[in-house]
Amino acid sequence: MKIVDLKCALIAGSPVIRVVTDEGVDGWSQIETPKPYLQPIVLQLKDWIVGQDPRDVERVMRRIRVRGGFKPFGSAVSAIEQALWDIAGKALNAPVYRLLGGKVRDEVRTYRTLYHHEMGVGHTPDDYATWAEYGKSLPGGFKMFKLPSAFHSSMVRDFRDFHVGDVHTDAPYPYPHKGVVTEDGMRHLVDCVTAAKETLGSAFGLAVDAGPGFLPQDALKFARAIEPLHLMWIEDMITGDYSPFVNHDVYRDVTRATTTPIHTGEQIYLRQNFKHLIEMHAVNVIGPDPCDVGGLAEMKWVAEHADLHGITIAPHGTANGILGLAALIQVCATLPDNFIAFEYPARFEPFWYDITEGFEGFPVKDGMVEVPDRPGLGLNFVEKAAKRYLSEGDSGFFD
């Protein structure tokens, strides 16, 4: 079996990767990076993989791994890796989890991020209570939620004088809001998170996505102030998302001084860049994204290394779509006991279930997803239906 083509298209606004072989077995993957930026990054890898046997996943990856980088540049490499596992599983008529060492759990726990635009609410304590009620009412019976807040939200604009610094509304990633949080800003933030947690109650877990943007002293103030709430974690306060660096030593200073679990890692590419974060016990929870870290095998390696050091893992996956969901289920079924839950890719419309085959509707029940035994990642396109959602210029994607 040989790879004969690599394609990238936008389907309903979401970038989808297709690896084509000479035996009619295709591999699929999906990532969040917008296509105008992603497509050139993907297609420049084509010459490096065409002619290779896709079942030799590691051999192919050694040819392209060096061409990735921190989010978003590792997205293309990660997407290709997932598509290769999809092909390898289909060729062997086996689910990907078997190729990664076999599953250790039959169901995988997932958590749901709640977005203010879903309900048209803002950033007041009453709004946060409303968010929490909305989360409890969602189908699927989610038991864990994450709320964007502080520098990872419009709170810096909505709350007057939240921090000492300029509010840039037109700056690119990473999030441009950074500065010392005012006393009133800190009190407001704590009040909002408290309202959400008290509304949820002790039967539900709550995490907060708060940055990047915090200076270390404010990160510690916030973490200490909400210790009584027993949050699952605070995410990406100092660096994260599109930050091209880690700052493990700064995270370590905060983590050691609070009982609130500290989390980061979605932007990090490759195991080597998790090394200091894990071995220095700089955080309590890591959150690699299989669509950014280098793929499924790479994420499993990172999870195993974290487990050796007593650090938990809650994989990121906010906008990876239905194919990203399929990939997360497969790899999370194989992770060690330090696995908490993966982030449910909430940003895709219901019609994705109609243009793909594999999931029979919404798969979450009581906050869990059953691990399927379908070959590969367990998902294929219904091409006739999917073609209606192709972007202009991508009409030959399924040919």
Q: Tell me yes or no: is domain 3-94+381-389 CATH 3.40.50.170.
A: no
Q: What is the pLDDT of residues 258-267, one digit of tens each?
A: 999 999 999 9
pLDDT at 167: 78
For the whole prediction, is pTM greater than 0.85? yes
Which residue carries 């907060």 as its tokens?
208
Predicted confidence at residue 174, as pLDDT, reads 62
Domain ranges of the chain: 3-94+381-389, 99-376
Per CATH, is 99-376 categorized as 3.40.30.10?
no
Residue closest to 286 by CA, chosen among 218, 327, 334, 239: 239
H/E stretch holding 222? helix 216-225
Backbone phi, psi, residue 191, to 5°: -65, -40
Provide the pLDDT for residue 34: 63
Tokens of 51: 């002619």
> Rounded to an integer, what distance in angstroms lies between the CA atom of residue 212 and that of residue 4?
41
| 270-274, 320-324, 373-377: segment of lowest average pLDDT | 320-324
Indicate the helix (H) or strand (E) that contains 190: helix 183-200
Q: What is the pLDDT of residues 327-351, one digit of tens each?
A: 999 999 999 999 999 999 987 888 9
Q: For residue 93, is pLDDT > 60?
A: yes
Residue 35 has pLDDT above 60, yes or no: no
For tokens 């103030």, name the residue: 221
Give the pLDDT score at 257.
98
Asked if the model's pLDDT at residue 148 lies above 80, the reply is yes
Higher-confidence position of 346 and 79: 79
Q: In the predicted model, what is the mean pLDDT of residues 159-170?
A: 84
Q: Which of 136, 146, 221 is nearest to 186 (CA)?
A: 221
Residue 347, pLDDT score:
76
Question: According to DSSP H, which parts of 33-124 are helical?
Answer: 35-43, 46-49, 57-64, 74-92, 96-99, 116-119
What is the spatial distance between Cα 76 and Cα 136, in angstroms, rounded to a whole number?
35
**CA–CA separation, 311 and 46 (whole Å):** 37
Asked if the model's pLDDT at residue 73 lies above 60, the reply is yes
Lowest mean pLDDT across 36-40, 59-63, 129-133, 187-191: 36-40
CA distance 1 to 112: 39
Res 194 pLDDT > 90? yes
Residue 33 — very low, low, confident or very high, per pLDDT cuts 50/70/90? low
* pLDDT classification of 392: cutoffs 50, 70, 90: confident
Considering only the C-alpha atoms of the chain, give the largest distance between any 2 of them, rounded to a whole number of Å: 64
pLDDT, the chain, mean: 94
pLDDT value of position 398: 96
Instruction: Tokens 């993907």: give the residue.
Output: 42
